[in-house]
Amino acid sequence: MNPVRYAVDFARSVAAMRGVILRLAANDFRRRYLGSTFGAAWSIIPTLATIAVFWFVFEVGFKAAPTGDHPFIVYFVTALVPWTFVAEAITRGSSAITENAYMVRKVRFRAGILPIAAILPALAVHLVFIVVLALFLLVYGYEPGPHWFQLPYYTLAGALLALGIAWASSAIVVFFKDLEQIIGLGLQVFFWLTPIVWPRELMPASLGWLFTLNPFAYVVEGYRDALIGGRWIWERPEATLVFWAITGATLVAGAVVFRRLRPHFADVLA
């Protein structure tokens, strides 16, 4: 099938099955926290705990100097929130097929929607965190401005990047389960390679191209630009162009890998 025609056909399927996708997402969210005392609160507790630890260590203990014009904890949190979303979306999306094997075995079921449904709970939690982040910034004296309206764009950018990776990884995990552990390790490595805890200015200018090629850096720095930097999307033309080239290639590659491996899922998951 022609790639463009296939993409259009899949988009129509997603639109037609939006109710199914939302139900799958809701069921996935309930399944993860069913039976726990604090329920859905566990979806935000780890990130809040991380923020609290970094605040205590760097603001109270080390009394870290401001990063640029911003307190360290503000600089850190505005990047941690989008990073957590993208990392969680990739992690959840990567296990979408193996966790829904009974549905994949149905011949006429469109398995490609499962990574999408798996990412939606991460998106829902992220929207809650955006509200928390806004309140956090208000406490530190940052007032909402027109640049904040760029957040939906950067959220969509992170979601599409995660989806492209999840399509490929969820298909490969069916045959190579160690990939889930590799992805977890890879995300830990990229956490420190992405300017979340430290500013990119600390790195030599000669290595700046590494950050341009790091799609995660584009998303987290985009959140910073929107929330505290006062910078517009079109002020980063090179980074934007490179990000969408990488993300577009990731989506296409993920879709191709998924489509090629999909006919063999039932044999392995049986």
Query: DSSP per residue over 21-82, as a string?
Result: HHHHHHHHHHHHHTT-SSGGGGGTHHHHHHHHHHIIIIIIIS-PPPBTTB-HHHHHHHHHHH
Q: Which two tokens stand for residue 6?
A: 């296939």
CA distance 151 to 219: 10
**Contact residues for 219 (Cβ-Cβ < 8 A; gap 6+):** 82, 83, 86, 154, 157, 158, 161, 243
Q: What is the pLDDT of residue 63?
A: 64
Task: Please give the pLDDT value at position 183.
Answer: 95
If pLDDT is split at 50, 70 and 90, which confidence band does 249 have? very high
User: Looking up tokens 């399944």, which residue turns up?
Assistant: 31
Calculate the average pLDDT of the chain: 84
Q: What's the pTM value of the predicted model, to 2 decimals?
A: 0.88
Work out the pLDDT band at 62, boundaries 50, 70, 90: low
Q: Please state, for a pLDDT cut of 90, what percent of the chain lies above it.
A: 41
pLDDT in tens, 213-244: 899 999 999 999 999 988 999 999 999 999 99
pLDDT at 202: 74
Residue with the two structure tokens 């929607």: 113
Residues in the chain, overall count: 270
The strand ranges marked E within 169-248 are none
- Asked if the model's pLDDT at residue 8 lies above 80, the reply is no
> Where are the domains positioned within the chain?
3-269
Q: pLDDT digits over 82-134, tens only?
A: 999 999 999 999 998 888 877 777 657 778 888 998 999 899 889 988 998 99
Indicate the pLDDT class of residue 173, thresholds 50, 70 and 90. Answer: very high
Q: What is the per-residue pLDDT across 136-172, written as a single tens digit (0 to 9) for each?
A: 899 888 988 999 999 999 999 999 999 999 999 999 9
Instruction: Output DSSP code: residue 228.
Output: I
- What is the CB neighbour count within 10 angstroms for residue 183? 21
Per-residue DSSP letter, 227: I
